[in-house]
Amino acid sequence: MMLTRTIVLAAAACAAAAAGAGLSAQGPRTVWDGVFTATQAERGWKSYVDQCSTCHGAEMKAGAGAPSLAGPEFQFSWNKKSVGELFDYAQNYMPPGQAGTLSSQQYADIVASVLRGNGFPASDGSELPAARTDLDTIAILAAKP
Ligand code: HEC
């Protein structure tokens, strides 16, 4: 009886260790991993200029009573949050009074351009997905890990 119990516990511990190892080998994705493409950020920039720049400024450096979307202050307030939360905020609150008037794709593209504006790297890989659940797996980290 005691023996069986010990074996079961040991097996469970092994499974947990294996799962943990898998996670750390791959690591969680962050904005430093090249999570958008240059083309996407450029598309997003055009929408940003049309829809957001009147308040957030021609260079994302604040204006018209709206906070900066690029630079240390922005990075401080979003540090350790997910790209999903940023996407969600933009989609649900921006532009004020007209939230959700853009397509999910447009919001994702704008988020890509905001990431670019903060100096996070583009890559030749895949674009930033336009779904909150996928974006929740990508962490915003102000400092390179
Ligand atoms: C009419 C002016 C206006 C427009 C247009 C506008 N915003 Fe904003 N935005 C604001 C204001 C004001 C705040 C601050 C809201 C608050 O603190 O409650 C804000 C906050 C934000 C924040 C949070 C910033 C932070 O550091 O927490 C994000 C992200 C954002 N806006 C994105 C966008 C995007 C993307 C667009 C275009 C689709 C947009 N905004 C268009 C006025 C605007």
Q: How far is the CA of 14 from the centre of ligand 1 (A)?
A: 47
Whose structure tokens read 């919001």? 107
Burial class (CB in 10 A: 0-12, 13-18, 19+), 92: exposed
In-domain check, residue 16: no
Number of domains in the chain: 1
**Residue nearest (by alpha carbon) to ligand 1 atom 4:** 95
Give me the CATH number covering residue 85.
1.10.760.10
Average predicted confidence (pLDDT) for the chain = 87
Q: Does residue 92 fall inside a structural domain?
A: yes
* pLDDT at 136 exceeding the cut of 60: yes
- pTM assigned to the model: 0.86
Q: Please give the average per-residue pLDDT across 60-75, as a whole number.
A: 93
From 46, 48, 50, 55, give the residue whose CB has the most ligand 1 atoms within 8 Å, as the site to mutate.
55
Q: Are 54 and 64 in contact (CB under 8 A)?
A: yes
Is residue 15 scored above 90 in pLDDT? no
In a domain, 50, yes or no: yes
Whether 67 lines ligand 1, by a CB cut-off of 6 Å, is yes
Distance, CA of 65 to chain centre:
24
Q: Which residue has the tokens 């791959």?
A: 26
Q: Side chain identity at 128, as an amino acid letter? A: L
